[in-house]
Chain A
């Protein structure tokens, strides 16, 4: 069974631009969550999608948004990029069952110049 796939693996952008990251969950998993990881703040929850609806949201500004498609694939978008948005963005998927673990992809490393 294929794992969680995130594309692209690396991305370089400049301040003010916008970016879209993609996540394909494990087959059969309907819940997709996004996390931001930085050296200073560690791992922080961005949002979670289930059945194309945002079900849970972290404390991030509105520049961070996401969506989920009918095949459970998810994208997150960051607009008006700032230097502080440089981070590893991780996606996790699960079958939406509290008895099952969440599985993470290898992430997208976003660097803002």
Chain B
């Protein structure tokens, strides 16, 4: 059974800092790994999808890396802005259950102060 842990649970930083959010998972036989953000009271917004064969994926100020062998992924946010304040979730579906069944961590709640 896939279990996902995200560290830290909460993070508060001033604007402009570079951040690293961590995600670890127990089953390394994953299809891919998706990072999402969730704003309060809203649904999930897809940020990045890394295929199991990839090591990194970039979108603007976001960079996600994946190390399947160690069961880890990191989301790097460059030059953070107040608009980045949200909860960030990672979800690595496993080959046993199919790529449609996402298993989520509890997320990292990020607050970026002006």
A residues contacting B by CB (< 8 A) are 4, 6, 31, 33, 35, 42-43, 45, 48, 50, 55-56, 58, 90, 92, 94, 96, 98-107, 109
Q: Is the interface of A mostly helix, strand, loop or mixed?
A: strand
A45 touches B46 (CB 8 A): no
B43 partner residues in chain A, CB cutoff 8 A: 4, 6, 90, 104-107
Cα A72 to Cα B99 in complex, Å, equals: 18
Measured CB to CB, the residues of B under 8 A from A are 31-32, 34, 36, 41-46, 49, 51, 89, 97-107
Give me 20 A-to-B residue pairs in the complex whose CB atoms sit less than 8 angstroms apart, sorted by A's number: A33-B100, A33-B102, A35-B102, A42-B104, A42-B105, A45-B101, A45-B102, A48-B100, A48-B101, A55-B98, A90-B44, A96-B100, A98-B32, A99-B51, A100-B49, A101-B46, A104-B45, A105-B43, A107-B43, A109-B41
The 4 lowest CB-CB distance pairs between A and B, nearest first, are A43-B104, A98-B99, A104-B44, A104-B43
Bound Cα distance A105, B45 (Å):
9
Question: Distance in Å from the Cβ of A34 to the closest Cβ of chain B?
Answer: 11
Q: Are A101 and B49 in contact (CB under 8 A)?
A: yes
Contacts of B100 in A (CB 8 A): 31, 33, 48, 50, 55-56, 94, 96, 102
Report the nearest B residue to A3, measured CB to CB: B43
Knowing that A56-B98, A100-B49 touch, tell me 6 more A-B residue pairs with CB under 8 angstroms. A33-B100, A92-B102, A94-B100, A102-B34, A103-B46, A104-B45
Contacts of A104 in B (CB 8 A): 36, 43-46
